[in-house]
A and B are shown apart, each in its own frame.
Chain A
């Protein structure tokens, strides 16, 4: 097996800063990279860090490669999947975390849709809930009032907006 094209010093240095890198940096790709580019980056990183490529290394160095390899896979796993990638980008834009749970990232869009439907803030959820209850009880006016209240807390919530529109339509139809 040809020796991997990275020396011990580089591996040591990389393994130290691994926790400070985001997935794009780990794979060494642009934020705008295509899926194909991400796959190619995964292949070339695997060639360097995959345990099979480092069988000749021993001790600490081998362990460091193994640890890096797992991160490389994780980064690939998130970035190759459009839903996970979107969830990751959103998370990165919001906060400081450089990693994301891969199993949860898949479902992130479901959560997002749920948030859109039921509200992302406590008050938004509260008033949306009241609106739903009013609607069930046949209190159209109350529902309208409550969804408008919900919208004051979450002005951009598309789910709330469409509910408001729908309720207005129904009110028109009645009157």
Chain B
């Protein structure tokens, strides 16, 4: 029986679907003939949903009903910096749900981020089905290597909501390396420089024939192609202010126009030495006159404008080289991923850093989805074996006394892996223990992302050092974390598949599936005539721009963005750790003590499915009492 499994690169800016058939990988185009689709979802008045480049065209006229860059928000808490940033930039409504979750409110309806991403994935599913002529139900979906567990889980949920069995959550750079080296019998060490729309990742791999072993992966979660655009937007906005004395940043419509012009200028600078940016109607004056902006930008000026951003990527590269115990001279190839890597200023900088020209034979926009398709085919037995041996990008930690988080599994440890730590209670006849799990590279618990927290009470009560609790941390091949606690003597266990409080629980997912939220994405039809000219009106202004190159063949394919960031929670008050720490490291033993939790009431306003997550924005991650107070208010 033919089993069809596709590979989907779900990017911040663009999404791409590929399929491996008869030993060949094909990038599947949509009805417009576009090989990548904007990761944009537009909600019509009747509740139906449009996805892709035509949806992106709607953003200028209906910014509040058009959701872009959902990937920046998926798997995050409402108080995170990234959500705050998005609220400032996007016109759509971002609201807070229970347990600090994030919802998007459109036309008085609320959607979780996995639902929004599911709509993009549903579009990809439909594109694939149009190509194969039968239902497509299996997929490998890629995520930035630096995605934490919350973000991976949420992406997996999105796949499920879209009606896809997610065979694997795969790291983007790993997928790129697979597409590069698959079936070639290579014996190489390569670096994958992945500059996406929202995040920068670099991975170093050793390819030995059909084994792809990731030696190290590092990332900067707040750095992407969008940051390059922002520099041009600032330039245009400043020019506009100088010309007209009005700040266009405050008007969402004006902002979207400048954003689009900036994005296009950036793309154009990868082919032209100079671009003349001209937006005729940024804002309309009170008397009805259109206020525009014009600016000429050379490649050299753009390089100066973005120098610091690009240098930041090489700091991350330094780290990856160091973690993999290699020097750039040990590398046989450098693979570029992500739309921004088409920019000559980036290519030149990469060549200078790695002391070799990057590979030219890899398409930075399509390579990730192609790699995902190869892996998908391999997982359903339709391609020869290619083993991917990946690593976990972040330290997995457990909260201990003093507001600290002890690493249990360090970053760049191969997966799947399991580690068990033995703990003891802090007080005699303690009723329960609280186990908090973090991901991140910081010693202070509060500086890391809280993955989850659960209470374990199923142990024998007794004098403190008599009680022995084994806590087992597992990271599976998807990079997804599972934690279990068990009494060493009775074997009684409590476990949690750690899920983000703002994520969806099983019940919610089932409800969404029942409502068929992803079904709002209409099957692809020939594009409405209106969609294309609307955008062309804006972009045809720049004199050097060629309309065809911009919108004729998949307009946005130059800016495939993908990585998002990692969601390390912002540190709040490091010093306010109190002495209510939950776990205590004993100096000379492997035993760690867990404090008494029985005096703290369990959270009352949380459903049990949420595993009793707590506020992580609050002042004190280590002090359960304070957290509970926060939670109960």
Contact = CB atoms under 8 A, between A and B. Distances in A.
Contacts of A77: 413-414, 417
Interface in A35-63: 39, 42-43, 46-47, 50-53, 55-56
Contacts of B416: 50-51, 66, 69-70, 73
Interface in B412-464: 413-419, 421
Contacts of B385: 1-2, 47, 53
Contacts of A56: 381
Contact of A1 (B213, B378, B389, B408): B378
B477 interface: yes
A70 B414 CA distance: 9
Interface in B95-144: none
B216 to A, nearest CB: 12
Given A77-B413, A101-B590, A70 B381 contact: no
B413 A102 contact: yes
Contacts of A102: 409-410, 413, 417, 419
A86 to B, nearest CB: 16
B410 A51 contact: no
B379 A103 contact: no
Contact of A76 (B388, B409, B414): B414
A106 interface: yes
Contact of B381 (A1, A50, A103): A1
A35 B111 CA distance: 50
B477 A51 contact: yes
A116 interface: no
Contact of B477 (A42, A50, A101): A50
A103 B417 contact: no
A74 interface: yes
Q: Is the interface of B mostly helix, strand, loop or mixed?
A: strand
Among A39, A52, A66, A69: residue with most chain B CB under 10 A: A52
Interface in B177-234: 206, 208, 211, 213
B387 interface: yes
Contacts of B389: 42-43, 46, 50
A56 B382 CA distance: 13
Contact of A106 (B168, B213, B381, B410): B410
A53 B409 CA distance: 24
Contacts of A51: 416, 476-477
Interface string B351-389: 000000000000000000000000000110100110111
B414 A73 contact: yes
Contacts of A103: 406-410, 419
A157 B229 CA distance: 60
Contacts of A42: 389, 414
Interface residues of A, number: 25
Nearest to B382: A1
Interface in A1-41: 1-2, 39
B474 interface: yes
A43 B387 contact: yes
A39 B415 CA distance: 15
B387 A46 contact: yes
B607 to A, nearest CB: 30
Contacts of A66: 416
A52 B409 contact: no
Given A43-B213, A46-B389, A50-B387, A74 B417 contact: yes
Interface in A103-136: 103, 106
Among B208, B417, B474: residue with most chain A CB under 10 A: B417
B6 to A, nearest CB: 17
A24 to B, nearest CB: 17
A39 B416 CA distance: 16
A47 B388 CA distance: 10
Contacts of B421: 101
A74 B410 CA distance: 12
A70 B474 contact: yes
B419 A43 contact: no
A61 to B, nearest CB: 16
B213 A52 contact: no
A55 B213 CA distance: 19
A115 B421 CA distance: 23
Nearest to A50: B387
A50 B418 CA distance: 14
Interface in A67-106: 69-71, 73-74, 76-77, 101-103, 106
A74 to B, nearest CB: 6
Interface in B545-597: 590
Contacts of A52: 168, 378-379, 387-388, 477
B20 to A, nearest CB: 13
A114 to B, nearest CB: 11
A153 B517 CA distance: 73
Contacts of B384: 2
Contacts of A39: 206, 213
A18 B378 CA distance: 29
Nearest to B381: A1
A73 B409 CA distance: 12
A138 B75 CA distance: 60
Contact of B211 (A43, A74, A76): A43
Interface in B49-104: none
Contact of A73 (B206, B408, B417): B417
A47 to B, nearest CB: 6
A102 to B, nearest CB: 6
A106 B416 CA distance: 19
A77 B416 CA distance: 11
A46 to B, nearest CB: 6
Contacts of B477: 50-52
A103 B473 CA distance: 12
Among A1, A2, A47, A55: residue with most chain B CB under 10 A: A1
A76 B381 CA distance: 27
A129 to B, nearest CB: 15
Among B208, B387, B406: residue with most chain A CB under 10 A: B387
Contacts of B206: 39
B26 to A, nearest CB: 21
A45 B168 CA distance: 21
A70 B389 CA distance: 12
B82 to A, nearest CB: 28
A35 to B, nearest CB: 10
Interface of B: 168, 206, 208, 211, 213, 378-379, 381, 384-385, 387-389, 406-410, 413-419, 421, 474, 476-477, 590
Given A52-B168, A52-B388, A55-B381, 13 more contacts: A39-B206, A42-B389, A43-B211, A47-B385, A51-B416, A51-B477, A52-B379, A52-B387, A53-B385, A56-B381, A66-B416, A73-B413, A103-B407
- CB-based closest 5 A-B pairs: A70-B418, A1-B381, A103-B407, A73-B417, A73-B414
Interface of A: 1-2, 39, 42-43, 46-47, 50-53, 55-56, 66, 69-71, 73-74, 76-77, 101-103, 106
18 contacts: A2-B384, A39-B206, A39-B213, A43-B211, A43-B213, A43-B389, A46-B387, A47-B385, A66-B416, A70-B417, A73-B414, A73-B417, A74-B417, A101-B408, A101-B419, A102-B410, A102-B419, A103-B410
